[in-house]
Amino acid sequence: MFDCSGRKIFIGVVTGTLLSTAAFSVLAADDKVTSHLLDSQGNPVLTTREGECVETPNTPNQPSKLFKICGDVIDRDKDGIDDDEDECPDNTPEEISRGVDQDAPNKGCPIDRDKDGVPDYRENCPNDTPIEISKGVYDDARPLGRAINIPPQASGDIIGCPVDMDQDGVPDYRDDCPNTPFGLEVDERGCRIVQPPERITLSGDVTFAFNKDTLTDEAEDILRRLADDAKDKGRIDHVTVEGYTDVVGTEEYNLDLSQRRADRVSKFLEDEGIPNIGAEGKGESDRYPTHKENRRVEIGIYRWQKKASY
Angular region, 283: left φ>0, alpha ψ -120 to 50, beta rest: left
The pLDDT score that the predictor gives to residue 288 is 66
- What is the CATH number assigned to the segment(s) 198-303? 3.30.1330.60
CA atoms within 13 A on the CB side of 179: 1
Tens of pLDDT along 115-124?
888 888 888 7
pLDDT one-digit tens code per residue, 64-109: 887 888 887 678 898 998 887 889 999 999 888 888 999 888 899 9
**Overall residue count recorded for the chain in this entry:** 310
Sequence spans of domains, the chain? 4-70, 112-189, 198-303
Provide the angle, in degrees to the nearest 10, between the axes of the packed helices 217-232 and 251-271.
50
Other beta carbons within 10 angstroms of residue 33's beta carbon come to 17
Query: pLDDT digits over 124-134, tens only?
Result: 788 887 887 78
The pTM is what? 0.51
Q: Which amino acid is at 212?
A: K
pLDDT for 263:
94
Measured CA to CA, the distance from residue 110 to residue 104 in angstroms comes to 12
Peptide bond into 60 cis (omega under 30): no
